[in-house]
Chains A and B, each alone.
Chain A
Amino acid sequence: MTANSSASLAKSASEIGQSESSIAIRRILAWLVDKVGVLLILGFMILPIFWVTLTAFKPLNTVYSTELLIIPTLNNFRVIFGPAQPIQLEDEYYGASDGFGQYSREDTIGKDMGRLLVNSLIISSVTVLVALPLATMAAYVFSRYRFVGDNALMLWVLATQFIPAIIVVIPFFTLYRQIGLLGTHIGVVIVNLSIVLPYAIWMIKGFVDALPTEIEEAAVVDGCNEIQVLLKITAPLIAPGVIVSAVFSFIMSWNEFLFALTLGRDAVRTLQIGLTTTEGVRGVQWEQMSAVGVVVLVPIFLLSLFIRKNFVKGLTMGAVK
């Protein structure tokens, strides 16, 4: 009896010991999974950005290798911002179409990226400056007024976000061809509105919805009329939300590719199209592509950090109501 119980005691004690050590192993495993997982995530997320940035500063002799230790140089940036001078090529290369766009891609020594940077800045800024006031006004009405057909109009605006960009390009291409808007800033801005405006309306509506109506009602009681309420009360309160929407709209226009490619053409190439100009008859000049990439990335990253807290909320508010 006593022997039995002492044996069972010893057994349970060893069980406790075992489970304690297995808990310790489990903890170590969990810690490892966490750290290795984070490391893998970081590698997966950051490696492409790191590699492009590193390559942009690499001297030419290390670009076509996986060398990590380099003496950084600004030479690649000098090249892409340099004036575009044609390289002497065999005649057969000139005008050789790759069956792609209407623009002929020529190999040049410099890439004149300053001009493209200005084009990108003009197109993105003007798009935002046109879209945001319109979107704010419409969002305010959608949020605060009830009228016949309001739901239908709102759903229509939401649904336009699902229209593929390619179908917007076709009619505008034929129209612009007739009225001479191909290769103009304003032409690209107009089609950019097709993606930016519906998105901004829904996003700003989300911010207005989150604002309690009591403040506005109190202002009405104090004798403000509708316009005064909008300008003096609501506008300052939703300003932060409008700024966040403006940043998102800017990023969308800045990263836009298809419209700039088919409607902007040679005359108003944006930086995104600038990336393709580093690809010539001898393939892509990766050090130049990377340098253009850095010029593309820096403003967007700064803006993303600026609206970091609202990033997910903002993106989902535009589309996921």
Chain B
Amino acid sequence: MRSGRLKWFLLAPALIVVFLTTTYPLLSAFYFSLHHWQLSKPDQLHWGELTLDNYMRAFSDSGFHNTVIVTIEFTILSVALSVLIGLGIALILQKESRLHTIVKILLIFPFAVSPALKGYSWRFMLNPEYGIYDQLIDHIIPPLSGTIWLGEPFWAMLVLALSEVWGWAPLIALTFIGALGSISPEVIEAARMDGATSWQVFRKITLPLLKPVILVITMLKAIFSLKMFDQVVTMTRGGPGDSTQTINYYIQQTGFGRSLDIGYASAMSWILVVVLAILAVLYIRFVLRPGEA
């Protein structure tokens, strides 16, 4: 009964649109990356000549080297902090109580805030003259008073990552709470009877059971961190200097800034695609492992 041609009529429209909006641009950008093509200098473009110059340029471009390091730093910082803080929130909120239920509802809000607004709101709150975060930190940690948060490379990177953590940690916490709920209370009860301390229960029971979820979340978050763009625009503009210039921002500046260098921007995008593809393969293998899909 489920063999008719109907399935292709149902499937085709979606697959055609997915192909045209994702795979076509991917292939198209690869073709662009093999050409000298700046929109500001259209006469340089010769479709017949293929070249690897754009890729060679990426390997010698110190600006690109910098973005690679910045992107790796940002990814490690934001992934590690999101997962750790998410885990902390989950452990505090895992017990059922009315207060916790209300807090759990509020946890969905930061994730729903648009990344562009995340960047602006954090920049506002970190203003060294009238920012609420700046004022709070001045009172709580006096040695840090007078810090120009977005004016020093170290702090700029940290707060950029924190603005990302702000959106993701609550969501990750909710995922962890879901996973913690599936651990049977009898196991923990039994361990306690045998005299295990809370720390031992956490180390020997909770953490091993959460490990698969932590791994999945870490991979997923790493992929999203590598794609991060909006907050760089609204929070740091890549500064101070080029200390928060992530790869997406650098590509956007190359392709759509003054030089409109489509060829080079495409080549750098493809380098990013290769990295993401490796992560995606690992992710899909891991998540869809046992005969699923």
Contact = CB atoms under 8 A, between A and B. Distances in A.
B141 interface: no
Interface string A123-135: 0000000000011
A207 interface: no
B22 A168 contact: yes
Interface in B115-152: 115-118, 120-125, 129-133, 135
A316 B288 CA distance: 13
A271 B35 CA distance: 36
Interface in A157-194: 157-160, 162-174, 177, 190-191, 193-194
A99 B293 contact: no
Contacts, number: 268
Contact of B293 (A51, A151, A174): A151
B130 A251 contact: no
B105 A308 contact: yes
A52 B121 contact: yes
Interface stretch (A3-11, A82-90, A289-297): A289-297
B21 A194 contact: yes
Contacts of B34: none
A170 B255 CA distance: 7
Given A162-B276, A320-B216, A168 B21 contact: yes
Given A138-B15, A312-B174, A289 B120 contact: yes
B286 to A, nearest CB: 10
Nearest to B133: A47
Contacts of A2: none
B190 interface: no
A66 B276 contact: no
A19 to B, nearest CB: 13
A127 B184 CA distance: 43
B117 A296 contact: yes
A164 B103 contact: no
A304 interface: yes
A137 B248 contact: no
A124 to B, nearest CB: 12
Interface in A1-59: 33-34, 37-38, 41-42, 44-49, 51-52, 55
A258 B276 contact: no
A262 interface: yes
A262 B120 contact: no
B25 A194 contact: yes
A160 B20 CA distance: 11
Interface string B244-259: 0000100111011110
Contact of B266 (A47, A167, A190): A167
A77 interface: no
Given A102-B256, A258-B229, A258-B252, A311 B108 contact: yes
A101 interface: yes
Instruction: Give the interface centre of B7, B107, B171 by most chain A CB atoms within 10 Å.
Output: B7
A193 B100 CA distance: 37
Contacts of B255: 166, 169-170, 173
Contact of A321 (B115, B223, B292): B292
A160 B166 contact: no
B130 A194 contact: no
Interface string A89-129: 00000000101111000000000000000000000000000
Contact of A166 (B135, B166, B252, B288): B252
A171 B127 CA distance: 38
A257 B115 contact: yes
Contacts of B123: 284
A319 B25 contact: no
A296 B283 CA distance: 33
A194 B130 CA distance: 40
Contacts of A34: 92, 95
B229 to A, nearest CB: 6
B110 interface: yes
A242 interface: no
Contacts of B265: 166, 170
A254 B28 CA distance: 27
A130 to B, nearest CB: 8
Interface in B243-293: 248, 251-253, 255-258, 262, 265-266, 269-270, 272-273, 276-277, 279-280, 283-284, 287-288, 292-293
B106 A42 contact: yes
Contact of B284 (A155, A173, A296, A297): A155
A220 interface: yes
B107 A45 contact: yes
B201 to A, nearest CB: 14
A52 to B, nearest CB: 5
Interface in B1-55: 1-4, 6-7, 10-11, 13-15, 17-18, 21-26, 28-29, 32, 39
8 contacts: A45-B110, A100-B233, A137-B14, A164-B269, A166-B269, A173-B256, A191-B21, A226-B6
